[in-house]
Chains A and B, each alone.
Chain A
Amino acid sequence: MIQIRALSKSFVDLQRGPVTALDAVSFEARPGEIFGLLGPNGAGKTTCLRILSTVLKPTGGSATVAGYDVLQDPAEVRRSIGFLSNNTGLYDRMTAWELVEHFGRLYGLEGRSLRERMESVFETLRMTDFRDSLCSTMSTGQRQKVSIARALVHDPPVLIFDEPTAGLDVLVARAVLQTVADLRDAGKCIIFSTHIMREVEKLCDRVAIIHRGRILDQGPLPELAARHDEPDTEELFFKLIEQDEARVAGSENRSESDFAPLAA
């Protein structure tokens, strides 16, 4: 369903100079599976998912979603995914119903089919009691539900959730995770990015650990645990990150020493 091959993204930042946000990342996600993207803040998760949603263009490699290439058929890719992240805000001056309806129309739904789909989504997510409230008056939990409804309204085969529980209270977070699990059971291909270990353990069928734009390792959690001889997910995560930090520091030292004879 999702195939990423040697995907790279670099840009120039005024403060930091040239930045490689993604460095030859490759992975695959299949229908009926939750693929976890686990990494600290600034690891490149959001950049990777933005490329998958065609909002950013890669500087190298390729990515296909539901058979469509992100560079060749961006419109078809967007039609095939439901995307949710911290950056996908809601229009404050619209009600929940209007907002989901607007996006449903943009996805090509009309008339009865749109209304029925919306009724069912609003019912499933238990949103009927605030469907006519303006988004500006909603609680964080309610807003997240509207966002999920917005991502689900066209019943896409692929769903991308970028830290969907950030800032939510335990009850709402639990409900969101349950929704994600239900969607997997309905056969959707799901990418789930997070930095919370518990969510990964609970939900993800396979995981990729990403750090400084590179994938350090990927596979089902038990497999990863066995490979690195570390049964605790959190410890496994830290171990991989530390190894990577040591590798980067080593290469920097090496490159400095390369110039030592010249300096002398």
Chain B
Amino acid sequence: MTWRNTRLLFLREVKDQLRDKRTLFMVAVLPVLLYPALGLGMVQMTVLFRETPQTVVVLGAEDLPGPDLIAGERFAEEWFDDPAAASKLRVVTAASEADASIDGATLLDAATEVRAAHERVEEVSAVLDAARATGDERDLAALQSRLRAAKARRATRFAESGIQVLMLVPPTLDEQIAAFSQRLNERGTVPFEDTGEVPRPLVLHQDADEKSRLAYQRVAGVLQTWERAVLRDRLAAAGLPADLPAPVAPRGLSLSLPSERAAGIWSKLFPALVVLMTISGAFYPAVDMAAGEKERGTMETLLICPASRGEIVCGKFLAVLTFSLCTAGLNLFSAGITGGYVASLAGSGPAAHLGGLAPPGLGSLAWVAALMVPLAAFYSALCLALATFAKSNKEGQYYLYPILMVSVGLTVFCLSPLVELTPLYAVLPVVNVSLLLKSLLASGGAGGALPYVPVVLLSSIGYAGMALWWAVEQFKREDVLFREAERFSLKGWMKHLLREKEATPTFSEAAFAFVTILLLQFAMMGPMQQALRAAAPGAEGETAFRLVVIQQLVTVAFPVLAIGVLLTTNVRRTFRFRWPDWKSMAFAVALAISLQPIMSVAVLWLTGRFFPELPEGMAAFKQSMASVPIPLALLAAAIAPALCEEIAFRGFLLSGFSRAGRPWLAIGLSSVAFGVVHLVPQQVFAATLAGLILGTLAWKGRSLWPCVLFHVIFNGQQALLGRAEQGDLGPVGDAWLHLLFDEDGYRPVVLALCAAGTTGLLVWLANYRRDEPSEASSAAESVVRRAAPLTSPASLGT
């Protein structure tokens, strides 16, 4: 690969894109115009915004104690923190109605109806309570249905009334309060214990209705302030200090400087913008450079030039990256400038709490620029690879929407203030850059996030590299480059799948099987939880273990076996059901025993440091392992997973993935898939590592059985160790524990021996290679398979 060709292709692509109006519009015009337009729109909206006041009806306002809660058609301004807010609530009372509009009268009538409906509910409810108390089961159902009907009527009446909040003041409330105050004044002579049940005002509202909820919040605030005044008056009258009810009265004080408040805002805005804009900036140029090239019929012109496919893709990639960075940079610049300007305009408006939004410092901007590059590179390569699949611009856009959707989801996730950078998040694509940026911007480029910088940068560059490699691979595939825009026919496709079966699954069939496993596991979650909840108390552990066996069979083994039998001709080769050689069987036993202590020590060490603690359900499951019968524990934890998962991952998926012609890629992909289905980070880690070893063993040993054996012994040890600890295994178990552990955990000697053993075994595996089965026998096998249809006519005839 030469830089000269890459540079030539890069320059041509950039020049070409700059002559394309659509790209220019997306990259340059839109960001420069969009944010000022948005800013202007926002200012206009705040100017034009008029909130229609919400209606509050107070029935029995005349019975409210002083000081005056209501003044005319409003709550008195003094009960509001912001006196201007008083105009947002219109208060209708019997007194205000006299000198107000007709609709005031209507509202009062409606309110009276709601009150009647409410009283009816109270009545029925009281009857029902009485019936329950006497144990009269006969009318219970009828009463319950009456209560439901009454509640429904009350809700309907309220919804139809046009009232947002209805306050029902009990008659004689003021008298009762006055009487109470009186008694307080005469304290010492009147006992306070027998104040009895005092009727309280009731504030009716509707939670499901936004307007009603907002009005209720305001009314509640008003009532709280007013109530404090009522209390203050009472205390004053009784000659008691005003701070009696608040002896501590702690005061909050925020130490944030205005610049830090601004940093908080930038730390939310910029990471989200960086993610969304790098992908938007890569999106259109990538589609135009890959799918557009096919659509315009210039792909072959490009392919016959002396530049290699790698040079072509790198040239295009650099061009997409340039546009992605420019788009993101311009957007950030424009958003930053406009945001600061709007905040400075806001003054006393609704954005006033932002204060003068100080621009982010140079250090912060440098971080944004540094982290934007690997992210943009990742998106550029990914978009390019996906767009290469497409035959036309339109098709390319369909393929890229999922990336956009996933990125938006991740961005929203990262925006949550509770989500912080952890070692695990630091290696997740997109999330890592987003969270690191958030943390760096919030702290002004200092603080606890700095140690993560190399990890995030390296992993992001790694992901970008992988995506680029994938894009180059796509560009080397004839079926991708010369895909005809054929009419897709489901019937034709099914026919093709069933008629032109091959000996082992294709790459896509393996990928499909993996997705099916994931979906089935997702679908099984609901029924599994239901079954667990329905389990008899005390038997949850056993039920859980039975369910695990069923889940393994249904979601892991069944789909691959079904697809394998239906779509391949050589089930034995597909699943590697070949007889194993003794060497790999011995290797499996030895490695399972020597690897187990090392893996559990590693996982334990990483938990808390790198992985979060085990989720509750998982921990409970592990605990219940102690109570179920040993055979069931072994079946659920060792035998079923070993058989089902090996058939799926080392059998079907590995066979399918290895059709791409790269065994190491196939082993890597199958072990990542194996890791992903384990969901819990600790298990994902252990399973992916084990998957690499098992994949290598399956590939080199050409048989599934050593892998199954390894899996059974490895998992079985974990299950049995727990049982040995509670003495279920008798003296043998005690001896086993004594051999492995001292008071501090695994004996150092054991760990050293296991480490040495594992290393030796892995070296052996690296050099091991079982001979290919003789060509003649495998050829004969495939001929036999092809000649015999699945249901032979002869067998049907008999």
**Which residues does chain B contribute within 8 Å of A57, judged by CB atoms?**
478
For the complex, what is the distance from the CA of A14 to the CA of B493, rounded to whole Å? 6
Within 8 A of B (CB), among A44-87: 50, 53-57, 74-75, 78-79, 81, 83, 85, 87
Given A103-B305, A107-B305, 7 additional A-B pairs, CB 8 A: A11-B478, A14-B496, A15-B489, A15-B492, A15-B496, A90-B301, A94-B15
A83 CA to B308 CA, complexed, in Å: 16
Q: What are 23 A-B residue pairs whose CB atoms fall within 8 Å in the complex?
A: A11-B479, A14-B492, A14-B493, A14-B496, A15-B486, A15-B492, A15-B496, A17-B496, A50-B300, A53-B304, A55-B300, A56-B478, A75-B306, A78-B306, A79-B306, A81-B304, A87-B297, A89-B298, A91-B16, A91-B296, A91-B301, A93-B20, A107-B306
Q: Specify the chain B residue showing the minimal Cβ separation from A93.
A: B19
Most chain B CB within a 10 A radius of its CB, from A87, A105, A106? A106
Contact bitstring B269-286, A, C-beta under 8 A = 1, else 0? 000000000000000000
Q: Is B307 an interface residue (CB 8 A)?
A: yes
Structural contact, A88 and B496, CB atoms closer than 8 A:
no
The docked-state distance in angstroms from the alpha carbon of A81 to that of B304 is: 9
A107–B469 Cα gap in the complex (Å)? 25
Binary per-residue interface labels of chain B (453-483) against chain A in the complex, 1 for a CB within 8 Å, 0 otherwise: 0000000000000000000000000110110
- Cβ A18 vs Cβ B304 within 8 A: no
Q: CA of A83 to CA of B482 in the docked complex: distance in angstroms? A: 17
A12 / chain B contacts, CB cutoff of 8 Å? 496, 500
Give A87's nearest chain B residue, CB to CB. Answer: B300
**Is residue A5 contacting chain B, with contact meaning CB distance below 8 A?**
no
> Within 8 Å of chain A (Cβ to Cβ): is B125?
no
* A239 at interface, CB cutoff 8 A: no
Given contacts A14-B496, A106-B306, contact A85 B298 (CB under 8 A): no
B485-502 residues at the A interface, CB under 8 angstroms: 486, 489, 492-493, 496, 499-500
A93-B19, A106-B8 given; A83·B304 CB < 8 A = yes
Q: Give the docked Cα–Cα distance between A83 and B300 (Å).
A: 10
CA–CA, A248 to B8, complex, Å? 50
**What residues of chain A lie closer than 8 Å to B493, measured between beta carbons?**
14
Question: Which residues of chain A are near B489, meaning CB under 8 Å?
Answer: 15
Bound together, the chains give a CA A213 to CA B301 distance in angstroms of: 24
Chain A neighbourhood of B492, CB < 8 A: 14-15
Residues of B within 8 Å of A91, CB to CB, are 12, 16, 296, 298, 301
How far is A88 from B301 in the complex, measured between Cα atoms in Å?
A: 4
Within the complex, what minimum Cβ distance (angstroms) separates A106 from chain B? 5
What's the minimum C-beta distance from B512 to chain A, rounded to whole angstroms?
Answer: 16
A89–B489 CA distance with the chains assembled, in angstroms: 30
B303 at interface, CB cutoff 8 A: yes
B516 interface residue, CB < 8 Å from A?
no
Which residues of the other chain, B, contact A87 by a CB distance below 8 angstroms?
Answer: 297, 299-300
Q: Which partner residue on chain A sits nearest B497 by CB separation?
A: A14
Pick the contact of B296 from A56, A92, A106 — CB < 8 Å?
A92
Q: Which 9 A-B pairs have the closest CB atoms?
A: A89-B297, A93-B19, A88-B301, A87-B300, A89-B298, A106-B305, A83-B304, A79-B306, A53-B304
The distance in angstroms between the C-alpha atoms of A235 and B459, with both chains bound, is 68
B296 touches A14 (CB 8 A): no
- A227 interface hit (Cβ, 8 Å): no
Q: Which residue of B lies closest to A81 (CB)?
A: B304
Most chain A CB neighbours (cut-off 10 Å) among B304, B481, B489: B304
Contacts of A106 in B (CB 8 A): 5, 8-9, 305-307
A113 CB, min distance to chain B CBs, angstroms: 16
- Please name all residues of chain A whose beta carbon is closer than 8 Å to the beta carbon of B306 when the two chains form the complex: 75, 78-79, 106-108
> CA of A11 to CA of B496 in the docked complex: distance in angstroms?
13
Q: How far is the CB of B68 from chain A (nearest CB, A)?
A: 76
Q: How far is the CB of A141 from chain B (nearest CB, A)?
A: 17
Taking the nearest CB of chain B, how far is it from the CB of A197, in angstroms?
27
Chain A residues with Cβ below 8 Å from B478 are: 11, 56-57
A74 to B310, CA, bound (A): 13
Query: In the bound complex, do residue A94 and residue B16 qualify as a contact, i.e. CB atoms below 8 Å apart?
Result: yes
CB distance from B284 to the nearest CB of A (A): 15
B residues in contact with A92, CB < 8 Å: 296
Q: Which residues of B contact A150 (CB under 8 A)?
A: 301
A138-159 contacts to B (CB < 8 Å): 150
A-binding residues in B (CB < 8 A): 5, 8-9, 12, 15-16, 19-20, 296-301, 303-308, 478-479, 481-482, 486, 489, 492-493, 496, 499-500
Question: Whole-angstrom distance between the alpha carbons of A108 and B300 in the complex?
Answer: 19
A78 touches B305 (CB 8 A): yes
How distant is the Cα of A102 from the Cα of B15 in the complex, in angstroms? Answer: 12
Interface centre among A14, A18, A50, A56 (most CB of B within 10 A): A14
- Contact A102:B8 (CB < 8 A) given known A75-B306, A90-B301, A107-B305: yes
**Are the C-beta atoms of B308 and A75 separated by less than 8 Å?**
yes
- Measured between beta carbons, the chain B residues less than 8 angstroms from A90 are 298, 301
Q: How far is the CA of A87 from the CA of B19 in the complex (A)?
A: 23
Residues of A within 8 A of B16 (CB): 91, 93-94
A17 partner residues in chain B, CB cutoff 8 A: 496, 499-500
Contacts of A108 in B (CB 8 A): 306
Cβ contact within 8 Å between B486 and A85: no
Output the residue of B298, B299, B482 with the most chain A CB within 10 A. Answer: B298
Closest to B500 in A: A17
- Within the assembled complex, what's the spacing in Å between the Cα atoms of A93 and B23? 13
Q: Residue of A at shortest CB range from B307?
A: A106
A81–B486 CA distance with the chains assembled, in angstroms: 31
Measured between beta carbons, the chain B residues less than 8 angstroms from A50 are 300
A94 to B313, CA, bound (A): 20
User: Is A89 a contact of B296 with CB atoms below 8 Å?
Assistant: yes
Residue ID in chain B nearest A83 by CB atoms: B304
**The one of B5, B9, B304 that contacts A55, using a Cβ cutoff of 8 Å:** B304
- Residues in chain B near residue A11, CB distance under 8 A: 478-479
Cβ-neighbour of A88 out of B9, B12, B304, B308 (below 8 A)? B304
CA distance A79 to B305 in the complex (A): 7
CB nearest neighbor in A for B493? A14
Please give me the residue from chain A that is nearest to B19 by CB atom: A93
Chain B hits for A81, CB < 8 A: 304
List the A side residues contacting B308 at CB < 8 Å.
74-75
Output the least CB separation between A232 and chain B (Å): 35
A1 to B435 CA separation, bound complex (whole angstroms): 60
In the complex, what residue of chain B is closest to A94 when comparing beta carbons?
Answer: B16
Q: Which residues of B contact A14 (CB under 8 A)?
A: 486, 492-493, 496
List chain A residues, Cβ under 8 A from B5.
106
Residue among B305, B307, B489 with max Cβ neighbours from chain A (10 Å): B305
A241 to B298, CA, bound (A): 33
Which of A81, A88, A107 has its CB near the most chain B CB atoms (within 10 A)?
A88
Roughly how many angstroms separate A15 CA and B486 CA in the complex, as a whole number?
Answer: 9
Contacts of B8 in A (CB 8 A): 102, 105-106
Least CB distance from B793 to A in Å reads 10
- Among A79, A93, A94, A107: residue with most chain B CB under 10 A: A93
Measured CB to CB, the closest approach of chain B to A71, in angstroms, equals 13
Q: Is the CB of B500 within 8 A of A18?
A: yes
- Enumerate chain B residues within 8 angstroms of A102, measured Cβ to Cβ: 8, 12
Residues of B within 8 A of A103 (CB): 305
Q: Which of B300, B482, B486 has the most CB of A within 10 A?
A: B300
Bound complex: CA A78 to CA B499 (Å): 39
Q: Which residue of B lies closest to A88 (CB)?
A: B301
Specify which chain B residues have a CB less than 8 angstroms from the CB of A107 in the assembled complex.
305-306
Q: How far is the CA of A54 from the CA of B478 in the complex (A)?
A: 11
Residue in A85, A89, A107, A108 whose Cβ sees the most chain B Cβ within 10 Å: A89
A181 to B308, CA, bound (A): 31
Give per-residue flags for A226-255: 1 if the beta carbon is below 8 A from chain B beta carbons, else 0: 000000000000000000000000000000
Question: Closest CB-CB distance, B500 to chain A, in whole Å?
Answer: 6
Bound form: Cα–Cα A75–B303 in Å: 10
